[in-house]
Structure 1
């Protein structure tokens, strides 16, 4: 963990859901929860960067993680203010160099397969070629214990559905868990949490309920996390990116089952095989 620094920030997290009335298959009315979804436009030194659709529970962390993962900033100390205003559906980020021009970086972007269409700015694909995550081994029994612990989470999904969840884990311990309408938002919020608190990705595990796409691998690689797993499947480019950066990639992880797509040599198979 590095020296702690925190910019001046609002604390503008929203309630994740609102009640509504639905009619079920029997024609009866019942109250259910629907996930809130709000637009949030990020401005950096008054320059409009992007508009994200989010449930809004961690808007400041989402903003920080997005800017870090997209390569706009490397040092958290460059950020002086993060101010969320839901009336204008905007977040104002003030930096220590207020005349920066991000137009060239923003001109080079790729719309990814992330829910709500994630966007990768600049030359992150080229940058990934220079990233190699630290080597890390993990026991099969630890994976099982972590997956069992994660069943206690997914609070929003259990109540309302319509979200993805991501978690930063130390072994079987869940350090931080986030749900949002898109998995790219959830991973950015965790990146913001790590950046804000000076947390290294070394020896961490990143869990997501979403697909293991190239975007997910790129972001986790930048965060320095060596193990990425999901209860869902992976894309071919996601696998290629994992091989390139050294990320141990595990798909279809649920209960006592998982598939290691990359980095099997980093798994210690110490548990009895499931029937």
Structure 2
């Protein structure tokens, strides 16, 4: 168990579990092959000893995942009031204790929505809380920087390369990846990065958020709450995701792989400086 380097006192574990296991599969020739598969385990998140949700997760950085989830859902908002974040894989639990006054918890828990995508997630009414007050800075991105970033990202996705069946999300500054997380659901990966940013007080205005998953309404809202103005994906977009990106002023770039990409919103923020 360790103390964070934050200015406030917070007890925070660093519980670790294997991310992949080796199994035997039989190929199309009837021959056995040793393969690695991604792990998936339940993690029940407790807030002041009250169960909030059970997330299906790979298990990497579970403390940050639990914090980012509660922050993004609007259950907690004051990082200085956090007292402890304890993950126990023997009981598959993450217990967050805060001295922050938690209001309308019953109401938030009653407004539950199951999200789209693999590793189904659950969101509550608090996810939409405060989005009208979000004002994101403009960030100009060069086409050449985007190409270099996509090239650099190819060095990540370690679990995916090893075993498949996971999504990855990255926090980027220009063409540098400053943090990268993989999980069985894209929503878990973004919540984990959100938790890390929240604890460290890292600003998002100069960042690009990369994901291997679809750009849904949930992804757009969470990235906006992180203060990040550019959202980049190798996958597609949904109608509600695009509408929210337009409302919030997020530059939305999708289908980005190799030298191909599509800017669905914010094309005026991209400098086309590469001769095709």
Is there any run of 5+ residues in structure 2 with no aligned partner, and where? Answer: 1-5
Q: Kindly state the Cα deviation for residue 126 of structure 1 after the two structures are TM-superposed.
A: 5.4
**Aligned counterpart, 2:36:** 33
Q: Kindly state the Cα deviation for residue 59 of structure 1 after the two structures are TM-superposed.
A: 0.3
Q: Kindly state the Cα deviation for residue 121 of structure 1 after the two structures are TM-superposed.
A: 1.4
Match of 1:263 among 254, 266, 275: 266
Other structure's SS at 1:228 match? strand
Does 2:40 match 1:62? no
Over residues 133-160 of structure 1, what are the superposed CA-to-partner deviations in whole Å (9 max), with x where a residue is unaligned? 1111111111000000000001100110
Q: Flag the structure with more relative contact order, 1 or 2, with Cα contacts below 8 A and sequence separation at least 6.
A: 1
RMSD value over aligned CA atoms? 1.5
Does 2:77 match 1:81? no
Q: Kindly state the Cα deviation for residue 125 of structure 1 after the two structures are TM-superposed.
A: 2.9
Match of 1:162 among 158, 162, 165: 165
Taking structure 2 as the reference length, the TM-score comes to: 0.94
Distance in structure 2 (CA, Å) of the matches to 1:128 and 1:202: 16
CA contact (8 A) 2:20 2:163 kept: yes
Over residues 109-131 of structure 1, what are the superposed CA-to-partner deviations in whole Å (9 max), with x where a residue is unaligned? 32221422222212433532332
Distance in structure 2 (CA, Å) of the matches to 1:5 and 1:198: 12
Distance in structure 1 (CA, Å) of the matches to 2:101 and 2:46: 12
**Aligned counterpart, 1:8:** 11
Other structure's SS at 1:12 match? coil
Distance in structure 2 (CA, Å) of the matches to 1:177 and 1:206: 10
Distance in structure 2 (CA, Å) of the matches to 1:123 and 1:114: 20
Match of 2:215 among 204, 212, 215: 212
CA contact (8 A) 1:4 1:197 kept: no
CA contact (8 A) 2:73 2:126 kept: no
Alignment of 1:72-151 (within 5 A): 72-97=75-100, 102-125=105-128, 127-151=130-154
CA contact (8 A) 1:115 1:184 kept: no
Structure 1 pair 239–6 and aligned structure 2 pair: CA distance change class (3 A): farther
Match of 1:46 among 49, 59, 66: 49
Does 2:203 match 1:203? no
Distance in structure 2 (CA, Å) of the matches to 1:133 and 1:98: 28
Return 197-206 or 68-77, whichever deviates more: 68-77
- Aligned pairs, number: 271
Other structure's SS at 2:133 match? coil
CA contact (8 A) 2:75 2:102 kept: no
